[in-house]
Amino acid sequence: MSYLLFKDASGDSWVRTNMKHKMNGNQMLALTGLRGRLLKAHWLTTSGDIAEESLQWEGPGFPSLSRFLPEAAWDEREIHDLFGYVPDGHPELRPLVRTPRWPKTFFPLQDDADSHPHWRDVEPDNPSRIVEGDGVTVMKVGPTHAGIIESGHFVFSIMGENILHLDAHLFQNHRGMEKVLETRLLGQVPALVSRICGADSVSHQFNFVSAVEQLAGRRAPEAVQWDRILLLESERILSHLNDLAQIPAGVGFQVANQRGLAMKEKWQRGLAAIFGHRFLFDTLDFDREILCDKDGLRTLVRSLEQSWSQWRRLVDHHRGFHDRMQGVGVVRQSDAERLGAAGVAARASGLGFDARTLMPLYQGIEVEPARADGGDVEARFQIRLQEVESSVRILKIALDQVSVTSSNSFWQPPCDLSGDVVSYSESPHGLNAHMIRFEDGRIQRYHVRSGAFRNWPVLALAVAGNAVADFPLINKSFELCYSCSDR
């Protein structure tokens, strides 16, 4: 562990060390604020190790990374909002989570924070960043929307039909999940992490379980590991089916939308019958014995394959549909890299990173990251097509394995678990990391960094230059969860 005591104004070594990780091609897992003026940055190296850098300082401010590592910009704004630590030299230090309703001295993740603050009686809107000039119109959308979607407030600066700039005001759904997790006993955590996000629930559950096991020095029996792969891949298919069905809706291709939704519904009903929940909440545990109906899952996969091939023919052969997606919402590879894009969005821009290639869980399976390089809506659509098919392949491998392995173990974590640990997985929406500090079997700090959090700034960049009418389509092609980033 390297503590770099920051007393001068430069803080050079903190910036330099983190820059070095980025230049070496490592993935930032999380930048976490902790009580006592402490920051930790965790990086996933190209060989699959986790490197930790820490910074402790005196005085109000710490050296900001954002000018050198733009992907840290949101993390530092969040740390500023929730702890009151000031990132010195941050290029855009304005509220991210905080609203004018928050009491001035309320920093929820500090020790002495009020559990129920006295909210100020004002509007919650923060000032927006807009473009000014002749012919520029500002269009505000949200936080409530005309359809059934999560809440977010978008401020577009537009000229004619084209978007000049999008200022996304998210965190409308900020509940304070990280704080809710603090002081909890281990047994209370799974139900909470299951519900951080409805679309990436298994990935969050896996991260918690894997963090506890890492810290306790336990390796789950092989059968249990195969079971976890079944859950993770089932969730990926569910989430991708949803997103793939939504993209055609964005261009009025209703047949593909409805048939896609039908496939999703069938898959979901199958999962409910097999694992007991339509979104796989509360399914992944330390020793979830392989109770699920393997034959049922095999039948479900076969039936998906049948409807999938029909649906693929429908979307593959519709030229107009592809015309509509190509060249829309382009993210250049350099931007994806600079902003630390994750998951589908990164792979669609030619960054061939998929955390499954490094996760110890997937060691027995060859995972080839999906590839596309257009960076547009089409590329993100194609990545998901490839990934559904590879997930089906992985499910079949895992199903063959679970039938030859079995586990009768029963394991519970030690009740005095203490220490810091970082875990990660590839959620349907990209690299998802949890940094957890345990103290005597209780959570002392729980930080969640999801793929969606990384990708929101990428989406804002992708829409600039496009027609306003294409925003829903571009948005659907990213299909970022709000709850994963708002927490």
Rule CB under 8 A: is residue 94 a binding residue for another protein? no
Backbone angles phi, psi at 452, to 5 degrees: -60, -40
- Of 61, 108, 250, 350, the one binding another protein by CB under 8 A: 108
CB of 202 to another protein, least distance (A): 13
Rounded Cα distance between 300 and 286, Å, is: 25
> Of 67 and 278, which has the nearer Cβ to another protein?
278
Contact assessment for residue 337 and residue 24, using Cβ atoms and an 8 Å cutoff = no
Partner residues linked to 168 by β-bridges:
154
- Of 99, 207, 234, 349, the one binding another protein by CB under 8 A: 99
Nearest to 290 by CA among 407, 383, 436, 142: 407
Contact track, another protein, 142-181, x by CB under 8 A = -xx-xxxxxx-------------------xxxxxxx-xx-
CB of 192 to another protein, least distance (A): 5
Nearest to 227 by CA among 173, 309, 290, 302: 290
Rounded Cα distance between 436 and 420, Å, is: 6
CB of 417 to another protein, least distance (A): 22
25-64: contacts with another protein (CB under 8 A): none
Tokens describing residue 38 = 């402490």
- Of 8, 111, 112, 123, the one binding another protein by CB under 8 A: 123
Q: Rounded to the nearest 10 degrees, what angle do helices 377-402 and 222-249 cross at?
A: 150
Nearest to 383 by CA among 353, 339, 338, 357: 353
Rule CB under 8 A: is residue 2 a binding residue for another protein? no
CB of 479 to another protein, least distance (A): 10
Q: What is the dihedral of CA 6, 64, 18, 16, to 10 degrees?
A: -60
CB of 323 to another protein, least distance (A): 26
Contact assessment for residue 97 and residue 104, using Cβ atoms and an 8 Å cutoff = no
Rule CB under 8 A: is residue 191 a binding residue for another protein? yes
Sheet containing 3-6: give its strands across: 3-6, 50-57, 38-44, 27-34
CB of 246 to another protein, least distance (A): 9
String of DSSP letters for 253-294? -HHHHHHHHHHHHHHHHHHHHHHS-TT-TT---TT--S-S-H
H runs (alpha helix) in 317-411: 319-325, 333-338, 343-348, 377-402
- The owner of tokens 């330099």 is 16
User: Which one-letter amino acid corresponds to residue 231?
Assistant: L
> Of 9 and 191, which has the nearer Cβ to another protein?
191
With contacts defined by CB under 8 A, name the span among 221-229, 289-297, 399-407, 476-484 that binds another protein: 476-484
CB of 140 to another protein, least distance (A): 12
With contacts defined by CB under 8 A, name the span among 187-195, 285-293, 381-389, 434-442 that binds another protein: 187-195
- The owner of tokens 């829903």 is 472
∠ CA 156-160-162, nearest 5°, is 55
> Of 245 and 394, which has the nearer Cβ to another protein?
245
203-242: contacts with another protein (CB under 8 A): 242
320-339: contacts with another protein (CB under 8 A): none
Rule CB under 8 A: is residue 111 a binding residue for another protein? no
Rounded Cα distance between 348 and 382, Å, is: 8
User: Which one-letter amino acid corresponds to residue 434?
Assistant: H
244-303: contacts with another protein (CB under 8 A): 258, 261-262, 265, 278-279, 281
Partner residues linked to 420 by β-bridges:
437
> Of 81 and 378, which has the nearer Cβ to another protein?
81
With contacts defined by CB under 8 A, name the span among 106-114, 229-237, 380-388, 438-446 that binds another protein: 106-114
Contact assessment for residue 29 and residue 424, using Cβ atoms and an 8 Å cutoff = yes
> Of 198 and 296, which has the nearer Cβ to another protein?
198
Rule CB under 8 A: is residue 196 a binding residue for another protein? yes
Rule CB under 8 A: is residue 95 a binding residue for another protein? no
Rounded Cα distance between 146 and 125, Å, is: 19
> Of 101 and 294, which has the nearer Cβ to another protein?
101
CB of 70 to another protein, least distance (A): 25
Rule CB under 8 A: is residue 84 a binding residue for another protein? no
- Of 115, 317, 319, 469, the one binding another protein by CB under 8 A: 115
CB of 347 to another protein, least distance (A): 22
Binding site for another protein (CB under 8 A): 99, 101, 108, 113-117, 119, 123-124, 143-144, 146-151, 171-177, 179-180, 191-192, 195-199, 201, 242, 258, 261-262, 265, 278-279, 281, 481-483, 486
